[in-house]
Amino acid sequence: MIAYRKDIDGLRALAVVPVVLFHAGISGFSGGFVGVDIFFVISGYLITSSLLGDLDKGNYSIARFYERRIRRIIPALIFMVAVVAAAGAVMQLPADLAELGTSIVSTLLFASNISFWINSGDYFGVGSEFQPLLHTWSLSVEEQFYIVFPLALAAIVRFGRRSLLPLLFALALLASLGLSIIGTENFKVATFYLLPTRAWELLAGSLLTVGLFTLPIGRWRAEGEGAIGLALILVPIFLYDSLPPSPGATAIPPVLGAFLVIHSGMGERSTLVGRLLSHPVPRFIGLISYSLYLWHWPIIVLTRYYLIELSLFDRFMIIVASFIAAVLSWRFIERPWRGRDAVLTRRPLFAATACTLVAGSAVGVLFARDGLPQRVPQNVVLMADKKAYRNDDRACGRGFERRASLESLCTRGAKGAQPDMLVVGDSHAEALASAAFEAAEAVGRSGYQLTDLGYRPVLGFRKHGEEEKYAYLNQLLTRLLAERPAIQDVIVAMYWHQAVNLDSYYNEGGAKVSGAQGVAKGLRELISRYPDKNFLLVLSPAHSLAFGGNAAARATLFGHEPFKPAVERVFFDAEERGYSAIVDSLASSDQRVAVVRLSDYLCDDVHCYGKLKDGEIAYSDDNHLSYAGSKLLDAAFQQFLSPSNRKQTTLATAEEK
């Protein structure tokens, strides 16, 4: 057993505080997510040290190990889950409670990382904003690691192969790191969540325990290690301005930083960094860090769920509440279950833990069945349903999923009219397709719909991670335009912000390019390849967690009336500038290209709104137009589809009409 080190408690504080501030949306801590990487290093170091200490003394016991893990992890976790479950049962809409039920089960089975990987799709996507137990993925990673690691370690040592530990740890670390780096390029979400691509961070801590690295001798070497390590931690916290591919190469600096800080304190002399981290304030935060990590995210999620929009004051109060909850949890839940006077002996502890996990999972299953809709007024349930904001079931979408062919593509619009127009794009195109085809019907025309989730019609490019989909749909698009020469007009709609700023693409030569390059070059190729056709580019609306049916339903449920969701126009304009240059270039260089900006319909000079002037909801969710919202474009669509107006480069705005 290693001696207690005050500086490691301080290092825990350095890990947890940026995570809390980042999740609370405090500016300046955009890279705070790296705190989880630091936690993994600390855990690997402490747990491996403890296990090797037991093995060296000859009193290693797997039962004792899991008893310590249970006392450390389970009581506070179960209490937090119980409070979240109770809050969810009182506050959440049925669909949200059903999702919470699934996450309760996976959390208590220490498989939430796998569950969120399968079901969430994106840790920082919109759906994640309302998952109170999302942060438990890291606990699941750790516990999965500690199912295998102690057994493997004991087997190696007891078979007399302890001398191989440095080599085995190093090889395992390199294999996991290599897989992680490859995975961030090809399987981002899985790489973020799953153990094989996270194990290297834990193993980095383990490497410190097996004598592979000599202890720092001399004051300046130790001071240098500590200072460099601290810098490698702080720089990512403050300079990573968006979520990078993690835990690949970009996780190396904070992991190496934690490694160096721990190593610098293993010598005989204390360092300046060690003394700073050993100060009573960071030490105390380190002591409550587990409870702080447990409580901060549910408090953020449930507060946002209730208030719908968070002010800076709200965020500050969330941080205060998180610290209060953490102190209470540490003092009255964590501490009584640990130490010599801990509650329950080993056997009763194991039995009580098993019974509690089973009971909690049963509650999760109950929630997951249907979300207990009888708790909520029926009108509120209907208000939250996305389908309530569509006039069809979008059966004509999902072109790749249903393996659409030229013969099976939907034709919509005026009955009996030869299809001579096309709506193409992603889910934003699906959201406005009905309005587009109703406009076509009004001018006596019909056309085809070729849409799918995340599909941008960028010819010559394939989206990273969706290569098969893009190959299929791009081929279908080119065949459609080549074999149906009657098509004269093409309406292109997509989530431009995501396409340009978050996506990446491969060109035909296999080179990876940015979203901006892929969209600009791919759309230019589409437009130039078909010189006999006209194109309407529909730009994205503003987006906000306060928009859509779910937010409106919560506003009604919680009495937030009058509910007038809006975002500041200045933020939307800044976002739109990220892709407007591409659009303006296409429109200015070719008179066949017209542009319609939804900001002209849903924004004034100060705000962009989530409701129409008549009070109808303009969005089905945080970023997709409702049917009512899409009907704002009726006149613009008719103008584009009317032969006399095709040569205009910019359509009239709502005010001009």
pLDDT, tens only, 244-300:
567 889 999 999 999 999 999 998 788 999 999 999 999 999 999 999 999 999 999
CB 352 within 8 A of CB 81: no
pLDDT, tens only, 40-50:
999 999 999 99
- Does position 364 have pLDDT exceeding 60, yes or no? yes
568: confidence class by pLDDT, cuts 50, 70, 90 = very high
Report the C-alpha gap between 164 and 156 in whole angstroms.
Answer: 8
Burial group, residue 655, by CB count within 10 angstroms (0-12, 13-18, 19+): exposed
**b/e 248-282 (16+ beta carbons within 10 angstroms → b):** bebbbbbbbbbbbbbbbbbbeebbebbeebbeeeb
Q: What is the pLDDT of residue 116?
A: 92
CB neighbour list of residue 303: distance below 8 Å, 6 or more residues apart: 310, 314, 318
- Side-chain-side CA neighbours of 226 within 13 Å: the count stands at 24
CB neighbour list of residue 21: distance below 8 Å, 6 or more residues apart: 28, 29, 32, 319
Q: What is the pLDDT of residue 187?
A: 85
Amino acid at 299: I
649: confidence class by pLDDT, cuts 50, 70, 90 = very low
Helices (H), 385-502: 427-442, 467-483, 496-501
Q: What is the pLDDT of residue 120?
A: 65
Whether the upstream peptide bond of residue 247 has omega within 30° of 0, thus cis, is: yes
What is the spatial order of strands in the sheet that 419-425 belongs to? 410-413, 446-451, 419-425, 489-493, 534-538, 593-596
Q: What is the pLDDT of residue 58?
A: 87
What the block records as the tokens of 640 is 């584009």
Report the C-alpha gap between 37 and 200 in whole angstroms.
Answer: 10
- Does position 651 have pLDDT exceeding 60, yes or no? no
Listed in order, strand segments (DSSP E) in 160-228 are none
* 358: helix, strand or coil: helix
CA proximity to 528, closest of 470, 575, 458:
458
> 341 or 47, which is more confident?
47
Highest-confidence segment of 56-70, 191-205, 388-402, 498-512: 191-205
Report the C-alpha gap between 225 and 244 in whole angstroms.
Answer: 26
| Angle subtended at Cα 423 by Cα 642 and Cα 521, rounded to the nearest 5 degrees | 105
Burial group, residue 485, by CB count within 10 angstroms (0-12, 13-18, 19+): exposed
- Give one DSSP letter per residue of 605-627, joined into a string: SSEEESB-TTS-BSBSSSSSBPH
pLDDT, tens only, 520-532:
999 999 999 999 9
Amino acid at 540: S
- Does position 493 have pLDDT exceeding 90, yes or no? yes
Per-residue DSSP letter, 653: P
| Angle subtended at Cα 609 by Cα 603 and Cα 614, rounded to the nearest 5 degrees | 105
| Backbone angles phi and psi of 73, in degrees to 5 | -105, -45
Helices (H), 510-630: 515-529, 549-557, 569-589, 599-602, 627-630
Helices (H), 240-336: 252-264, 272-277, 280-287, 289-307, 312-329
CB neighbour list of residue 417: distance below 8 Å, 6 or more residues apart: 444, 445, 446
Amino acid at 413: G
CA proximity to 308, closest of 95, 170, 130:
130
657: confidence class by pLDDT, cuts 50, 70, 90 = very low
Amino acid at 71: R
CA proximity to 629, closest of 461, 391, 295:
391
Q: What is the pLDDT of residue 162?
A: 85
Strand partners, 188: none
* 451: helix, strand or coil: strand
Q: What is the pLDDT of residue 339?
A: 74
Q: What is the pLDDT of residue 653?
A: 46
pLDDT, tens only, 598-644:
999 999 999 999 999 999 999 999 999 999 999 999 999 999 999 76
**Residue-level length of the chain:** 657
242: confidence class by pLDDT, cuts 50, 70, 90 = low
* 122: helix, strand or coil: coil
- Rounded mean pLDDT, 546-561: 95
